[in-house]
Amino acid sequence: MVKPDLQSLDDKLKRIQILDSISGLLGWDELVNLPPESSGQRAEQAAAIAEVCHHASTDPEIGDLLSNLELSLPEQELDAQIVIREARKDYDRNAKLPAAFVRRKARLDSAAYHAWAKARKESDFSLFAPYLQQQLDSAKEYADYLGWGENPYDCLIDLYDPGMDSESISSLFDSLKQELVPIVQQIFGSKYQNQNSSVFRGFPIEDQRAFLKDVTAAIGFDYQRGRIDVSLHPFCSGNGADTRMTTRFDENNPLDSLFSAIHETGHGLYEQGLPLDHLHTALGKAAGMGAHESQSRLWENQVCRSRAFWNRYEPEFRAKFGKQLSGISSDALYLAINNVSKNPIRVDSDEVTYNLHIIIRFEIEKQLFEGTLPVKDLPGAWNSRYKELLDIEPKNDAEGVLQDVHWSGGAFGYFPSYCLGNMLAAQLWYAALEQLPDLESDFEKGEFSRLLTWLQKNVHSQGKRYGLKSLTLRSTGEELSPKCLIRYLKNRYLPLYP
Ligand code: ZN
């Protein structure tokens, strides 16, 4: 009975994946192409396909197939065991939630998003606070349906990074914070800090587009099964069969469009490196958000902000933008590429201070779930943490506690992934360097395939076999830790900011 059951499960998972990909395409189109007055119909299209997806993924026959297979599948069928383990998790996640809760949550998400957008526009947290409270209550209710051990917050963290929990993240972040705060203080005290804003003017968009397409193709993005477009906030969606990424352009900020495109390319390379025949099962899905972010950060930061990379690409950059770069020396350009500044906005911050932005959000989320920080006190707690860790005083709520969209959708537990991704990126970087010591000389030649192949073998091809901790241990030989991230940040930034 095992073989036919496996085949039936495979067919059903394939249909779910295809439906999800249609839903994803509608979402991509909404952010890239949708005419402004067409959003009403799109909302109905999205709701209709969401219902079809939900129906397919809660099909009771999947539950029966899983139960049969869990009893009968031989232990040595390792790959099939992984498929079943993850399909069970997904199925339970959908099937354990009462339909009334799902409907209520969808309505809340929409209302809370609009309340957040208005509150941010008017810079008034009190307009958003009641919705945030409801999202928090709803997140706890969600955790109750799925079941949790130590802390309902863990149930949400597990959604983004399987196997992680608030206790292990706390201990990683505490040691990172201890080492990172003095580094940030040294940089903020350097006379080289914040000298290079507004040196870039008038970079034609078409030339920027051509340059970033050359770079992202050289790194390895396959434009035969993917594309890059423009959206307000850059993102990467789709899968390895059809990868959709975006960037944004500003004539006076060519580095933003370039590094956004490279960042999304890192996500895209992960998707394109997952086993194409298994997109519908755990064998062809990403290990989690932290692993995903490790790929985007590694290409963006360790590789493309390096001296070696710019030794290769600076002449090309100058050939395209000779006039605009004429008064800017090589050193000034490199410093601008690795600019560290006191920025209150997470998405505009650099890779050094970024981690502290995340630690603040994690500590606040933890307190919200523990009940030690009432929602109404959030702006005060936010501002005092920013002052303490980054010496930044947000001018208002819009620049402070209201800046991110995540909490309006109840996406608690998502933020830590960004910083965990930074840790893994640095660990992968040093592990790759150990095995391929002359790796950086490849970049000087515009050659990236050895690194990409290494990542494909150690990370991409593994799919969702391992959670973040095991994936780190297997791919780098070390436990997940902030050690390599600190080593990398010191090496890269302290010489630039004496
Ligand atoms: Zn990312």
Rounded distance from Cα 6 to ligand 1 centre (Å)? 34
Q: What are phi and psi of 236, to 5 degrees?
A: -130, 130
**Ligand 1: centre distance to CA 8 (Å):** 35
Which is catalytic among the residues 86, 264, 293, 399?
264
Please classify residue 477 by burial: count the beta carbons closer than 10 Å to its beta carbon, then call 0-12 exposed, 13-18 middle and 19+ buried.
Answer: exposed
Q: From first to last of the 498 residues of the chain, give the pLDDT tens digit.
A: 567 899 999 999 999 999 999 999 999 999 999 998 998 898 889 889 988 999 999 999 999 999 999 999 988 899 999 999 999 999 999 889 988 898 898 889 889 998 999 999 999 999 999 999 999 999 999 999 998 888 999 999 999 999 999 999 999 999 999 999 999 999 999 988 766 556 799 999 999 999 999 999 999 999 999 999 999 889 999 999 999 999 999 999 999 999 999 999 999 999 999 999 999 999 999 999 999 999 999 999 999 999 999 999 999 999 999 999 999 999 999 999 999 999 999 999 999 999 999 999 999 999 999 999 999 999 999 999 999 999 999 999 999 999 999 999 999 999 999 999 999 999 999 999 999 999 999 999 999 999 999 999 999 999 999 999 999 999 999 999 999 999 999 999 999 999
Cβ partners under 8 Å of residue 138, min gap 6: 104, 105, 108, 410
pLDDT value of residue 461: 98
The crossing angle, in degrees rounded to 10, of helices 483-493 and 415-435 is 80
* pLDDT attached to residue 198: 65
Closest CA to 459 of 428, 497, 487: 428
Dig out the tokens for 255 from the structure.
Answer: 């580095």
Bridge partners of 247, per DSSP, are 230
Backbone angles phi, psi at 228, to 5 degrees: -125, 135
293 belongs to the catalytic site: no
What helix, strand, coil percent values describe the chain, rounded to 5? Answer: 70, 5, 30
Query: If you measure from the C-alpha of residue 422 to the centroid of ligand 1, how many angstroms do you get, rounded to a whole number?
Result: 10
Q: Where are the beta strands (DSSP E) in 333-489?
A: none
- Assess contact for 212 and 206: CB atoms under 8 A: no
Tell me how far the alpha carbon of residue 296 lies from the centroid of ligand 1, in angstroms.
6
DSSP character for 173?
Answer: H
**265 C-alpha vs ligand 1 centroid, how far in Å?**
9
* The residue to which tokens 């958003």 are assigned: 128
**β pairing state of 226-230 and 242-247:** parallel
CB–CB of 392/356 below 8 Å?
no
Distance of CA 119 to the CA centre of its chain: 25
Residue with tokens 């383990």: 85
Question: What's the CA-to-centroid distance between 415 and ligand 1, angstroms?
Answer: 11
Give the pLDDT confidence score for residue 36 in this predicted structure: 86
Instruction: Kindly list the distances between the CA atom of residue 498 and the CA atoms of 192, 301, 391, in Å, as whole numbers in the listed order.
Output: 8, 20, 19
Q: What does the pLDDT read at residue 195?
A: 61
Distance 256 CA to ligand 1 centre (A): 14
pLDDT on residue 110? 85
- Cβ contact 386:257 at 8 Å: no
